[in-house]
């Protein structure tokens, strides 16, 4: 009878040991998988200074082709006033590995958000090579300008003949 109790106790100890090992393995795996996630910081509702690359100046970039829009962002904007005119140096960055054949055009706005001299600025050509950043300069047409948008479109590589 004593040997049966000893055997039963040994089996219970072995089962407990296996459960403990399994529990440790599950916890370790969970911790390893969980630590690989990139979780954004939790804030107290007052905001966070962490901005995704390209989002800081996104309000100035207008691209009506979402596929192209995902390949471009404004990485920097420098501005100054020269003879009462707003002068802009904008850094446009490609996140695409191949060359992008583009055209750009500035739209200028007054303090009330109205477009100034709409359509008078011509489309300018711009080739952005893989992962390149290019400086795009421009000068406002009047002293009433307070803000701007940069419109970008892709140039068709093949011309169609009819």
* 79 and 122 assigned to the same domain: yes
pLDDT at 121: 83
Cα angle: 59, vertex 64, 70; to 5 degrees? 70
Question: Nearest to residue 92, comparing CAs of 112, 107, 110, 71?
Answer: 71
Question: Is residue 33 situated within a structural domain?
Answer: yes
Query: Residues of the chain with pLDDT > 70: what percent?
Result: 65
Range in 45-49, 95-99, 131-135 with the lowest mean pLDDT: 45-49
* 32 and 76 assigned to the same domain: no
Question: Is residue 162 situated within a structural domain?
Answer: no
Q: What are phi and psi of 23, to 5 degrees?
A: -65, -40
Question: Is residue 46 situated within a structural domain?
Answer: no
Task: Give pTM, 2 decimals.
Answer: 0.63
* 32 and 3 assigned to the same domain: yes
* 64 and 34 assigned to the same domain: no
**3-class DSSP assignment, residue 45:** coil
Q: What are phi and psi of 88, to 5 degrees?
A: -120, 135
Range in 1-10, 29-38, 131-140 with the lowest mean pLDDT: 29-38
Residue 92 in this model has a pLDDT that exceeds 70: yes
Domain count within the chain? 2
* 112 and 140 assigned to the same domain: yes
Model confidence pLDDT, tens digit, residues 35-68: 544 444 433 333 333 444 556 788 889 998 999 9
* 28 and 71 assigned to the same domain: no
* 4 and 69 assigned to the same domain: no
Neighbours of 40 (CB within 10 A): 8
User: CATH code at 143?
Assistant: 2.60.40.3230
* 72 and 146 assigned to the same domain: yes
Question: Is residue 11 situated within a structural domain?
Answer: yes
* 66 and 114 assigned to the same domain: yes
pLDDT at 42: 37
Give the domain range for residue 24.
1-40
* 35 and 86 assigned to the same domain: no
Compute the distance between CA of residue 51 and CA of residue 54 in angstroms, rounded to an integer: 8
Q: Is 104 exposed, middle or buried (0-12, 13-18, 19+ CB in 10 A)?
A: buried
Question: Is residue 160 situated within a structural domain?
Answer: no
């Amino acid at each position: 009878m004593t040997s049966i109790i000893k055997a039963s106790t040994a089996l219970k100890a072995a089962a407990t040991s296996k459960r403990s090992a399994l529990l440790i393995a599950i916890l370790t795996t969970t911790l390893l998988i969980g630590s690989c996630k990139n979780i954004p910081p939790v804030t107290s509702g007052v905001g966070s200074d962490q901005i995704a690359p390209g989002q800081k100046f996104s309000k100035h970039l207008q691209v009506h082709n979402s596929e192209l829009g995902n390949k471009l962002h404004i990485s920097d904007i420098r501005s100054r006033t020269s003879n009462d005119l707003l002068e802009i140096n904008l850094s446009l960055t490609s996140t695409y590995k191949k060359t992008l054949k583009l055209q750009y055009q500035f739209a200028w706005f007054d303090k009330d958000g109205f477009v100034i001299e709409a359509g008078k600025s011509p489309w300018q050509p711009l080739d952005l090579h893989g992962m390149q950043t290019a400086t795009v300069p421009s000068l406002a047409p009047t002293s009433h300008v307070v803000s701007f948008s940069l419109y970008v479109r892709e140039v068709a590589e093949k011309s169609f003949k009819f």
